[in-house]
A and B are shown apart, each in its own frame.
Chain A
């Protein structure tokens, strides 16, 4: 049964990108049925009433689809739950008396803007480099007009579940964005409409990822274990395949 619990929040506070940050501690009494982000809302209301600066954190949809809620909770991106975003995290995951450490993503590719909010636009830039289909695919075809094997459709669908949240790079000791890039390359490379530009896309997205300073993947699988959408590292193998094939053809 959910009950009221007392927790201690250790929250990273940082006034701006260049400012030196530090942890602030906030005691919190909260019901376990409250979501993690609602708890931060309640804390912020309290801070405003006390005349203090509220904690800045990113969020939007609060239903696990936008990928904004980039919080590193107790050593895990998106907190201790697997296959869930921070906004899908509830306080029943925590024990009475627990200390909860909340940090921003820490990766050179995602500089802190303020408090817990980081600049995740690097992933947008990677998308802009090639994460789209620009060939003319005509009007909307009839369903099943282009036969696609169920296996490929499933793999493409699984890869397309990526919400671009950045947890992969945040979890990776190498600050590598490979899981994200591989999901985006895969979801298109597996389908006929995306296949046409697969080689160019893989090269362009990898080049952009490298240019933005993300690290080299050493296959630790931390990304996959922390990904809220359970994106598999087999996508990384596919990206490697696509990339190497494209380069060897050049």
Chain B
């Protein structure tokens, strides 16, 4: 199967799964924006999603996306290390024009995974999983707004951990977005610079808003 056996096929999978995850981030961002303005409206969204079949299917598709992206990242990175060979250069210099993020995508991805685990333990485990299992603590599994306040309002540790997570994601996306476009072959001399610029904007808008919203939650909690 060329999606596994060929280098460009593997890159295609990486690219599509990455773009899919970016789409999901945009969707998630919209939900967070809702919570900034109204905890009640946010809870309506939570309730609407809840443990309905479409939310469950969505979760499974998303999990598959993350898994595929991660497994391919692992395969790619291991193959690339092997292709580099065992002997390393004694003198190295990063040439001008090579972005740091582009050479550290796997490490950045690992930080993203760690943040993701923390995030799932805060919300998914207490909400969807709790509802499915029928066991929950004091806060009802559908009361997303309360969970946000519980984990962020006045909680500096969580706030800082989330901000670190978003910074790693920012680096990942500054390279990831245009790299995905390039992998799809949708690039030329003129668009090369443009896509790189757009990539930085995409990363900055997504991660910047996540950071700002997290800080708002830290200071104010969800909107009244």
Chain A interface residues toward B at CB < 8 A: 10, 12, 23, 72, 74-76, 101, 103, 106-109, 112, 155, 171, 173-176, 178, 206-207, 209-210, 213-222, 224-226, 232-234, 236-245, 247
Contacts and interface: CB of A to CB of B under 8 A. Distances in A.
A174 B90 contact: no
B84 A225 contact: no
Interface stretch (B115-123, B137-145, B182-190): B182-190
Nearest to A209: B7
Interface string B163-205: 0000000000001001100111111110010000000000000
Contacts of B88: 106
A225 B10 contact: no
B11 A216 contact: yes
A51 B126 CA distance: 77
Interface in B82-107: 82-85, 87-99, 102-103, 105
B89 A107 contact: no
Nearest to A101: B91
Given A12-B90, A220-B103, A237-B192, 4 more contacts: A174-B84, A215-B82, A237-B182, A243-B6
Nearest to B105: A218
Contacts of B105: 218
Interface in B38-67: none
A76 B183 contact: no
Given A103-B89, A210-B7, A218 B185 contact: no
Given A106-B89, A232-B189, A234-B189, A222 B95 contact: yes
A213 B10 CA distance: 14
Contacts of A107: 83-85
Contacts of A74: 91, 93
Contact of A75 (B7, B89, B179, B189): B89
Contacts of B91: 72, 74-75, 101, 103
A148 B117 CA distance: 56
Contact of A217 (B9, B11, B188, B192): B11
A222 B89 CA distance: 15
Contacts, number: 144
A103 B178 CA distance: 33
Given A218-B105, A240-B182, A109 B2 contact: no
Interface residues of B, number: 44
B102 A240 contact: no
B89 A247 contact: no
B79 interface: yes
Contact of B85 (A175, A216, A217, A237): A175
B7 to A, nearest CB: 4
A175 B84 contact: yes
Most chain A CB neighbours (cut-off 10 Å) among B10, B76, B94, B98:
B98
Contacts of A245: 185
28 contacts: A12-B90, A23-B90, A72-B91, A75-B93, A106-B89, A107-B83, A108-B83, A108-B84, A112-B87, A173-B103, A176-B80, A206-B6, A209-B7, A210-B6, A215-B80, A216-B76, A216-B80, A220-B102, A221-B97, A221-B98, A225-B97, A234-B192, A237-B187, A240-B185, A243-B8, A244-B8, A244-B12, A247-B6
Given A108-B82, A109-B83, A241 B185 contact: yes
B84 A106 contact: yes
Interface string B1-29: 01001111111100000000000000000
A124 B26 CA distance: 46
Nearest to A222: B98
B212 to A, nearest CB: 29
A237 B97 contact: no
Nearest to A237: B187
A40 B44 CA distance: 75
Contacts of A239: 8, 185
A30 to B, nearest CB: 19
Contact of B89 (A72, A225, A237): A72
Nearest to B195: A237
